[in-house]
Amino acid sequence: MRFQLNFKSGKPVYLQLVDQVKSAAASGAVQPGDPLPSIRPLAEELRVNRNTVAKAYAELENQRVIETIAGKGCFVRASSSPFRKDVRLKLVAETMDDAVVQAHHLQVGKAEFVRLAEERFDAFEDKRARAVHE
């Protein structure tokens, strides 16, 4: 998978890596069992500290998105959230709160926001369907 970092986004670099792996796993661009690049080459390619990559991988492992197999590296896990439904909803709500704040700053109203959310959801499902067919 390819990573794209943006130091200007204000989002911690390790979180950008976490989110990109999660979205690749969610969209089917990477499949359960796929290996992730090892830490040093990825750090050198992205021109970041290895600590940053290690922190991202630790966080992904923590969130059970990937697993580390000793001596072999990191691999994408089959997605099965260990959390109960209410906890999962709360996690999504927190992410949406950020988007709502952003919308507020950019003067995007509620109706437009909801329409955009639907559109993004459809786009995501399209992408996922395509990835599964490939």
Residues at the contact surface with another protein, assessed by CB under 8 A: 5, 7-14, 40, 43-44, 46-52, 54, 105-107
**DSSP annotation of 32:** T
Question: What single letter denotes the amino acid at residue 75?
Answer: F
Q: Which of 103, 131 has the CB closer to another protein?
A: 103
CB of 58 to another protein, least distance (A): 12
CB–CB of 40/50 below 8 Å?
yes
CB of 40 to another protein, least distance (A): 5
CB of 132 to another protein, least distance (A): 34
Q: Which of 50, 90 has the CB closer to another protein?
A: 50
Q: Which of 18, 25 has the CB closer to another protein?
A: 18
Burial letters 95-131, b for 16+ CB under 10 A, else e? eeeeeeeebeeeeeeeeebeeeeeeeeeeeeeeeeee
